[in-house]
Amino acid sequence: MNILFVSPSYNPFDGEGWGATQRTNLLFEACLGLGQVDVIAFKEGVESSRENCRVLWSQEEREVREKRRLQNLLDMLLSWRPNHMFPRNESWTNVIGGIIRQSNYPYDLIVCRYVSEAMECGLMDYAERLVIDVDDNPIDTERIYAQTARTLRNKMFHRVRSFFMERTLRTIQKRCFFTFYSNPSHAKFPNSAYLPNIPFYSFEIPAVDFCCTTPRILFVGNMSYAPNRDGIEHFVRCVFPLIRQQVPDAELHLVGGFNEQEWAERLQKTDGVSFRGFVSDLLVEYAAARVTVAPIYFGSGTNIKVLESMQARRPCVTTSCGFRGLDGSFSKNRELVVADDDKEFSDQVVSLLTNMERNHRMAELAYQCIASQFTREVFNSIVQLHLKNQ
């Protein structure tokens, strides 16, 4: 099988970083198990390290689009047109079209992540062989923008876009060969399947040793991402003080990238909060923690940080939003805790910080679910099952 893998934003050979880069690498590796894979990447420095893979393009190709008020109005009024909602990048489209024409279209499949990038690259011209990893549903993204918009104009803009987005995605879905979704509730079409997010790293550590650890809480995530940043800010302001009332020596360690130094410094002024930023060995951070938290109150897709915590045998307390997409595999208060009220959230964290038996029981149940359902082998088998008989 010959596959063209189009990756405008990420180096598919490099899975280091946040969830988007990791899932791109996982999908790419799964495709390599099906045959010859050619790569087009619109970024510098992408080089093949695999025998059955060629990099056909690795250069920056950008178009500058100036947005004006009139254009914003047209975006809303013409949202029903797919190519207006997801405008083509003519530079990218021309590069891809030229490569395919020169190859006399030998590709059995063309694989791309995200609907927006597939449209931007003009890949709907090859829809009968197009596979899109939708991942986070853009309809949810537009609804989130509408929910969090600060002006009535922006709220209306994103509400209208979410309405037409649903119609657009239905049209795209019907034309594509196949699509994958990271939330099982979105994979409701005959030519679609649920492809779960999985922990990218393999952690083999025992359950937490209460004799050798302090009551440390861990959060891992990219804090430049608004749902993570806002969630942690709320947790530090409203939940962590309630925890410290019951466990005065409780600590909160924040691990992950950020782009606002003042914001990080402000959080660290709270007693017990330590901002770690990027760390060289994430395993060390998990080993030193008793509990992890994922205080996510808006966003789309499924949270890899929750799954990663389970793999590390560290019980996780999250919200209903953080639990979204996982309810088919896990049970609340069995493998993880789901709490939306600040007092309940703090009480559950305190319980897992201080009750070793409950901590260990929940951690082991969660680990067994991860080991059976959220592995690279499962991920690869889903991709290859649906694509190998195209």
Spatial distance between the Cα atoms of 24 and 209, rounded to a whole number of angstroms: 35
Per this entry, what is the length of the chain?
390
pLDDT by position in tens, the chain (length 390): 999 999 998 999 988 777 788 999 999 999 999 999 999 999 888 999 899 999 999 987 655 444 444 555 555 455 545 555 778 889 999 999 999 988 866 899 999 999 989 999 999 999 999 999 998 777 777 777 777 777 888 888 878 877 877 888 888 899 999 999 998 888 889 999 999 999 988 878 899 999 999 999 999 988 888 888 999 999 999 999 999 999 999 999 999 888 778 888 888 888 999 988 888 888 999 999 999 999 998 776 678 889 999 999 999 999 998 898 888 889 999 999 999 999 999 999 999 999 999 999 999 999 999 999 999 999 999 999 999 876
Single pTM value for the model = 0.85
Spatial distance between the Cα atoms of 295 and 76, rounded to a whole number of angstroms: 32
DSSP symbols for 136-191: S-HHHHHHHHHHH-SSHHHHHHHHHHHHHHHHHHHHHHHHSSEEEESSGGG--STT
CA dihedral 256, 260, 266, 270 (to 10 degrees): -10
CA 27, 29, 31 angle in degrees (round to 5)? 70
Phi, psi of 58 (to 5 degrees): -150, 70
291-294 and 216-220: which strand pairing?
parallel
Radius of gyration (C-alpha) of the chain in whole angstroms? 22
Mapped onto helix, strand or coil, the DSSP state of residue 196 is coil
Q: Which residue has the tokens 């083509």?
A: 88
Q: Which residue segments constitute the domains of the chain, with CATH numbers given?
A: 2-198+376-387 (3.40.50.2000), 216-373 (3.40.50.2000)
Q: Which residue has the tokens 């099952």?
A: 385
